[in-house]
Amino acid sequence: MTTTNEGQGPLLEVRDLHVEFHTRDGIARVLNGVSFSVDVGETLAVLGESGSGKSVTAQTIMGILDMPPGKITKGEIFFRGKDMLKMSEEERRGIRASGIAMIFQDALSALNPVFTVGFQIAEQLRLRRGMNKKDALKRAVELLDLVKIPNAAGRVKQYPHEFSGGMRQRAMIAMSLALDPEVLIADEPTTALDVTVQAQIMDLLAELRRERNMGMILITHDLGVVADVADRIAVMYAGRIVEHADVFSLYRQPCHPYTAALLESMPRLDLKGQELATIKGLPPNLLRPPSGCPFHPRCRMAVDQCVAEVPQLITLGMDRLSRCFRAEEMITNG
């Protein structure tokens, strides 16, 4: 799988990505220099609250961002060492699904209601792999079986609305795996599901990732979902990555006050009867972002410097990055 990695770099690398939305009220800078990379067999979790730019990042990588109003003002996205933003539409289409595939949050609306699930999976195989109808449908059954849909042979003939929520998400996963992608982007794959099904889907994704040695970008706002599955976590806030670390270090010792606040606001079983900690205030309005560090109005560690200057990403040792002036302080104070 790793044989033709032209540029010798990581499988997928996003470098300094800037995206703006031109709206009637002005320009919203949705992504302000996002950089990360995913390698073969690795899971990167992108964490952040609504409006932090997680989904826009995913859509920009896939090339399905609505433009206009969206606009990529700066940055590069390397897949196998080639910048996808410089490719022709034709070239990019070739990468979609066979190079990078994506799973959507709401599988019901991501499946076409007028065709059977089997037809939709088979269509890709027919078009892109030149399979005939019968073989493609057989492969669709295998794929549904792979994502553990019981009675797959009978299920291929059903319509999406005849599937339950969890089954639909499985079908969606099967569809995105049809062309054996090397990178799978999962945009909040479990948000629309209930908790028990969430766990099953996450297990399935982790298992598939392991078996197929795929790179995976898991976009979520749920810290609980991430812990078991991800290798590394990138925390996003207001279109920037504010902290980047491996899972263990991040949970043990967050190096950005936002990450710390997120961890504190998780419900915990051992703290019964106490009020749940929350992060005060609202995410910043991207049309009029606050000066300096965009988190400073909500930050309990904010100092004068935070209001005046935009903090840069600072390296804190092995693959650990933080965009906070007081990151080192946070580590030393434990």
Partner 1 sequence: MSEPTIASQVEVRHVEAIVGESPSAEAPQQKPDKADKPRSLWSDAWYDLRRRPLFIVASALIALVLLMVLVPQLFTSADPYYADLARSKQLPSANAWFGYDVQGHDMFSRTIYASRASVIVGLLATLFTVLVGGAAGMISGFYGGLLDAVMSRIADVFFGLPFILGGIIILTTFRSDSPTLAEAMLVLVGTIAMLSWPVAMRITRSAAITVKQQDYVKAARALGASDGRIIVRHMLPNCLAPMMVYATIALGAFIGAEATLSYLGIGLPPGTISWGVMINDAKDYIRVAPHMLIFPAAFLTTTVLAFVMLGDVVRQALDPKLR
* Residues 276, 190, 222: CA angle, nearest 5 degrees: 30
In angstroms, what is the minimal distance from the CB of 83 to partner 1?
Answer: 19
In the bound state with partner 1, the residue whose beta carbon lies nearer, of 61 and 261, is 61
145 binds partner 1 (CB under 8 A): yes
In the bound state with partner 1, the residue whose beta carbon lies nearer, of 207 and 309, is 207
113 binds partner 1 (CB under 8 A): yes
334 binds partner 1 (CB under 8 A): no
Cα distance between the two ends of the chain = 41
- The window from 58-66, 69-77, 292-300, 313-321 that contacts partner 1 (CB under 8 A) reads 58-66
109 binds partner 1 (CB under 8 A): yes
Binding map of partner 1 across residues 242-281, x = CB under 8 A, - = no contact: ----------------------------------------
Q: Which of 35, 131, 159, 199 forms a contact with partner 1 (CB under 8 A)?
A: 159
In angstroms, what is the minimal distance from the CB of 85 to partner 1?
Answer: 16
Interaction residues for partner 1, span 77-96 (CB under 8 A): 93-96
- Are 163 and 117 in contact by the 8 Å Cβ rule? The answer is yes
Binding map of partner 1 across residues 195-234, x = CB under 8 A, - = no contact: ------------x--xx-----------------------
163 binds partner 1 (CB under 8 A): no
In angstroms, what is the minimal distance from the CB of 131 to partner 1?
Answer: 15
Task: Point out which residues bind partner 1 (CB under 8 A).
Answer: 59, 62-64, 68, 93-98, 101-102, 104, 106, 109-116, 123-124, 127-128, 145, 153-154, 157-159, 162, 172, 175-176, 179, 207, 210-211
